Structure 1
């Protein structure tokens, strides 16, 4: 998010303060989808926005909200460009955003250990004290086991997957085996 002028920095801050339409507890800056603001003249601006995944239905609402905020700030012409490269990943969520997710009752995505593609694991659904699944065989090597998904309510690492999809495609539905509360988990991408 490089800006060249004080006005571009101000516009970037305004656009970044727009709440995410699916997770209004997060701003677009905290979610990490706002990439850049480019000023053209004194009253035209182009905003680069990266969706959380290709085809994300919230991108249109984000664009409309950004346009409304920047026009209210005096920009006559606002263009929101969808930028797919570099792709968004959950590593782009700011530390403040991760904390807000936790406080809102959503387990934030785990941090990735390496760059590159995210491996898809279809193994056991529990994240702590995982016993071998009777049909899948032995439990995975402990050195390759991802960090546990912690309950945002009580902090327990003993959680289980109920559904790979929740209210949005970005989230999974889990349950804490400690406090028994269900919760959303923002999946790693």
Structure 2
């Protein structure tokens, strides 16, 4: 009887350990994003139609989009990613200086990623409702550059509450792992 009880306890322990390992395998862990130096950036997430890296600034969580890197011929990498940015960003200044207007987006807290040269900065919306802004310039990705609006354009969005220089904190190429 004692041998039977010991055998049952060992069997129960073995089954429990195996079941626990199943939930710690790569198939049951969330994908994570790492920068070029191997430093953890954040979890790979999707929220409200926006997929990317979950980033937290203070008490605000947002999703910063990432995209596959590609070469000059448009060939995409299977493993390397870069910070994806908006195709344009609108500013209240006439020369694209200062903070951009954060347009409503699908993340838990709206944000906009803006590329200027090699630097990508994420601007996270301040708390509160949308407001109307007079956009006097727009920063374009293609063709790259700042264009002043002849007359101000009314844009609904949020003021900036926080900024994160993501490309300086986490240089690319970004990779996804567990």
Same fold (TM over 0.5): no
Q: Looking at secondary structure, tell me which structure has more helix per residue.
A: 1
Higher relative contact order (CA closer than 8 Å, sequence separation 6+)? 2
Structure whose residues are more often strand by fraction: 2
TM range (shorter): under 0.3
TM-score where L is the length of structure 2:
0.25
